Amino acid sequence: MARISYIEEKDHPELAADIAKIKGARGGLINIYKLLLHSPTVCMTWFEHIGAIRWKTKLTPRLREIAIVRIASVARYAYALQQHVPAIAVPDGVSLEECEALKDWRDSKFFNEAERAALAYVDAMIAGPEVPDAVFDAVRKHHNEREVVELTVLVGTYLMHNRVFTALRVDLEPKKN
Predicted pLDDT at 23: 95
Predicted pLDDT at 176: 65
- In angstroms, the CA 16 to CA 21 distance is 9
Which helix (H) or strand (E) segment is 85 a member of?
Answer: none
| All residues at 6 or more sequence positions from 92 whose CB lies less than 8 Å from its CB, including other chains | 61, 62, 64, 65
pLDDT tens, per residue, the chain with 177 residues? 999 999 999 999 999 999 999 999 888 899 999 999 999 999 999 999 999 998 899 999 999 999 999 999 887 767 777 888 888 888 899 999 999 999 999 999 999 999 999 999 999 999 988 999 999 999 999 999 999 999 999 999 999 988 898 899 988 887 765
Give the residue among 5, 145, 126 at the shortest CA–CA distance from 76: 126
Give the residue among 88, 89, 91, 72 at the shortest CA–CA distance from 30: 88
- In angstroms, the CA 154 to CA 131 distance is 15
- In angstroms, the CA 163 to CA 157 distance is 10
Predicted pLDDT at 177: 56
pTM given for the model: 0.90
- In angstroms, the CA 1 to CA 16 distance is 25
- In angstroms, the CA 69 to CA 59 distance is 15
